[in-house]
Copies of this chain bind each other. A is one copy, B any other.
Amino acid sequence: MERITSKSNQLVKDIKRLITSSGERAEKGLFVLEGARLCFDVLNSAYSVKYFLITDSAFEKYNKEATELIKLSESSYYISREVSEKLSDTKSPQGVFAVCEIKKTNEKLSDKIIALDNVQDPANIGAIFRTAEALGIKSIITHNCCDIYNPKTLRASMGGVLRLAPKESDNLEKTLKALKSEYKIYSTVPDENAVRITDIDFSTPCVCVIGNEANGVSEEVKAASDKLVTIPMLGKAESLNASVAAALTMWEMLR
């Protein structure tokens, strides 16, 4: 296994660009996982690993999983602490990195779907994937959201992004219209005149749309919905964080 000790090594530079630029990720079809937990989560996912990089001390610490990942990976490298610090998105890097191939999912949609319309905060998207996985929502459609392969999103999702296989939609209105014969479409809105989410019958197949942090669900998507639904609030209105609103929505879908 080769060793990379220089921060100016070309592969290190290329990986750094994949970490910082969503355009680069889209162009190369690759993304980067950092940290022991996320990297070793790949072992139980459908993703392929192109490069695996690990410091000596991390290899000692995570010997078993690292050995497995080295087998799985196209190429693997030992890296110096300097290289690890250069690549890391955190203050105390664990020294474990995996470059994986972005893959399009062909999985059939399940009967409870969350659609994210222009959700922009990487931490919110990550938290939504994490909660979806915990509560048992199996299908997520994203439209015009921040890149789910952003390091912050991957971290906040606790690996949920790796296991949930989201579908990306170029045109959410069209995607939802195509689903309408099989699914009820509900857009969540901060509007007390909408139907209370506790009054919806979620026993049939349905899609719930969560909108942008500031502007909510787009007008076209609202128009394409069967109902506008809202989370009734006793306190100060319009004040739920997007990831909390999504959590309460998913909870009600499965309750």
Interface residue ranges, A against B (CB under 8 Å):
127, 130-137, 158, 163, 198, 233-237, 239-241, 243-244, 247-248, 251, 254-255
Do B130 and A234 touch (CB < 8 A)? no
Query: Which of the residues B130, B163, B234, B236 comes within 8 Å of A241, measured between beta carbons?
Result: B130
- A134 with B236: in contact, given A127-B241, A241-B127 (CB under 8 Å)? yes
Do A134 and B243 touch (CB < 8 A)? no
Nearest-CB residue, chain B, relative to A239:
B134
How many copies of the chain does the oligomer comprise? 2
A-B contact pairs, 7 of them (CB 8 A): A127-B241, A130-B239, A130-B240, A136-B234, A243-B244, A248-B248, A251-B251
Q: List the 4 shortest-distance A-B pairs measured between CB atoms, nearest first.
A: A136-B234, A134-B239, A136-B235, A244-B247
Do A127 and B244 touch (CB < 8 A)? yes
User: In the bound complex, what is the Cα–Cα distance between A135 and B230 (angstroms)?
Assistant: 12
Do A244 and B133 touch (CB < 8 A)? no
Do B133 and A236 touch (CB < 8 A)? yes
User: In the bound complex, what is the Cα–Cα distance between A130 and B248 (angstroms)?
Assistant: 14
Chain B residues near A234 (CB, 8 Å)? Answer: 135-136, 254
Query: Which of the residues B132, B137, B198, B240 comes within 8 Å of A134, measured between beta carbons?
Result: B240
Q: A133-B235, A134-B239, A158-B239 are in contact. List 16 more A-B contacts (CB 8 A).
A: A130-B239, A130-B240, A131-B241, A131-B244, A133-B239, A134-B235, A135-B234, A136-B235, A137-B235, A198-B255, A234-B254, A243-B244, A244-B244, A244-B247, A247-B248, A248-B248
User: In the bound complex, what is the Cα–Cα distance between A2 and B17 (angstroms)?
Assistant: 48
Nearest-CB residue, chain B, relative to A255:
B198
Nearest-CB residue, chain B, relative to A244:
B247
